[in-house]
């Protein structure tokens, strides 16, 4: 087993104190937007450019030039990274994949008035009727469940994904990015195709000179087979902590204990630091039950969010094998509302800031 991964891994002293930046829908991204990160004593920021996989062709379109949320474009991500570096912050580049349909064969109807509800409904009905004629070559409603239906076609997806991720790795190297995440929550693809990922890591290391991780989902990290080729064990840490409506700090602490034991045992196997590449709680009741659910079904409760963060930090921050956290997520302005994931202008901000200050 290669336990070294990258000789630079010990060059990062202290904890990683990070946030994941959520940029605006339209340009620009300004320095002031990124400077707001300093309010939480963060020394790291993650940029998350998003590419698209076509369900009907398996091709990957790496950065649409029009119609994409600006904060998730490569241009937006490069601006975030540039401002962060100017401010002395460290950067993780963490590409994401989303799923769409290739509609290039659709004879799209023209002259619809989208201000008219009847016209809008007719347009989208026609669009859905066309999509129904296409072959869906994928399984899974989100990236964690993604797999191809025909095993013979994995190579099609792998060719597109390698081209996309190497493009990102080159950008990361030229921008002096400190940490590059080779994939986010693509766990079925990672578990079924470990040889592809090992080869991909070798190719990335020939292009990018920094540190590497992969972001595994909380319930899949033990089944990822290439941690020994990486520098950090990265986890989307949406572990279910408590079923209670308003769990106290003590309840949340108890909820973390079995996961902490399992993580420590797993970490010893690979002798690699554990990094929460995502940790997030909504400021609502029941936020500790299924933290990964991002739709709003519960009433706001700021204390729940603060208690859950306090418990996570109290459980892990002092452990030598634990490398740090990226908070999901940090809005460029405001806080996304009273029931969002953002800790901004909420009691959770003080909790996170006080722990980050200890680094």
Enumerate residue ranges in the chain where pLDDT < 50.
1-4, 7-10
Beta strands 179-184 and 211-217 are parallel
pLDDT given at position 263: 98
Determine phi and psi for 247, rounding to 5 degrees: -65, 140
Peptide bond into 28 cis (omega under 30): yes
Give DSSP secondary structure letters for 25-75. Answer: SSSPP-HHHHHGGGGGT--EEEE--EEEEETTT--EE---SSSS-GGGSHH
**Joined tokens for residue 149:** 């239906």
* Residue (of 48, 60, 55) closest to 19 by Cα position: 48
Indicate the fold that domain 7-102+139-357 takes in CATH: TIM Barrel (3.20.20)
pLDDT given at position 65: 56
| Consecutive H or E run containing 192 | helix 187-192
Model pTM score: 0.95
For the chain, give every domain's residue range. Answer: 7-102+139-357
- Give the Cα separation of 247 and 249 in Å (integer): 7
First to last CA, the chain: 31
| Consecutive H or E run containing 148 | strand 147-148
pLDDT given at position 147: 94
pLDDT given at position 8: 42
pLDDT given at position 63: 67
Q: ∠324-215-303 over CA atoms, to 5°? A: 55
For 180-213, what is each residue's pLDDT tens digit? 999 999 999 999 999 999 999 999 999 999 999 9
Q: With the CA atoms of 258, 43, 335 and 248 taken in that order, what torsion angle do they form, in degrees rounded to the nearest 10?
A: 30
pLDDT given at position 310: 98
pLDDT given at position 359: 80
* Residue (of 207, 185, 182) closest to 196 by Cα position: 182
pLDDT given at position 4: 43
* Residue (of 312, 67, 273, 60) closest to 183 by Cα position: 60
Angular region, 351: left φ>0, alpha ψ -120 to 50, beta rest = alpha
Report which DSSP code applies to 21: E
């Amino acid at each position: 087993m290669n336990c070294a991964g990258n000789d630079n891994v010990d060059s990062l002293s202290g904890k990683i104190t990070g946030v994941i930046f959520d940029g605006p829908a339209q340009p620009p991204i300004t320095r002031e937007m990124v400077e707001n990160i300093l309010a939480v004593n963060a020394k790291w920021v993650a940029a998350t450019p998003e590419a698209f996989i076509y369900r009907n062709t398996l091709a990957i379109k790496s950065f649409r030039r029009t119609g994409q949320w600006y904060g998730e474009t490569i241009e937006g991500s490069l601006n975030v990274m540039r401002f962060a570096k100017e401010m002395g912050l460290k950067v993780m580049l963490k590409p994401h994949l989303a799923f769409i349909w290739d509609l290039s064969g659709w004879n799209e109807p023209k002259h619809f008035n989208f201000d008219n509800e009847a016209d809008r409904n007719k347009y989208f009905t026609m669009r859905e009727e066309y999509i129904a004629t296409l072959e869906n070559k994928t399984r899974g409603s989100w990236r964690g469940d993604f797999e191809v239906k025909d095993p013979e076609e994995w190579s099609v997806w792998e060719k597109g994904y390698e081209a996309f991720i190497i493009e990102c790795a080159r950008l990361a190297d030229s921008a002096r990015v400190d940490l590059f995440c080779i994939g986010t929550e693509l766990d079925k693809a990672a578990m079924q195709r470990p040889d592809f990922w090992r080869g991909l890591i070798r190719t990335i290391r020939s292009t990018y000179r920094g540190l590497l991780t992969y972001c595994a989902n909380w319930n899949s990290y033990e089944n990822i087979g290439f941690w020994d080729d990486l520098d950090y064990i990265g986890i989307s840490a949406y572990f279910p902590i408590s079923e209670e409506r308003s769990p106290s700090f003590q309840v949340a602490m108890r909820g973390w204990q079995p996961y902490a034991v399992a993580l420590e045992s797993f970490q010893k196997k690979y002798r690699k630091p554990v990094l929460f590449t995502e940790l997030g709680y909504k400021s609502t009741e029941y936020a500790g039950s299924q933290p990964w659910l991002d739709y709003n079904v519960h009433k706001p409760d700021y204390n729940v969010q603060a208690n859950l963060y306090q418990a996570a930090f109290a459980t892990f921050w002092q452990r030598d094998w634990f490398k740090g956290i990226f908070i999901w997520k940090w809005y460029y302005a405001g806080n996304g509302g009273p029931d969002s994931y953002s800790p901004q202008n909420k009691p959770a901000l003080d909790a996170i800031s006080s722990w980050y200050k200890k680094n």
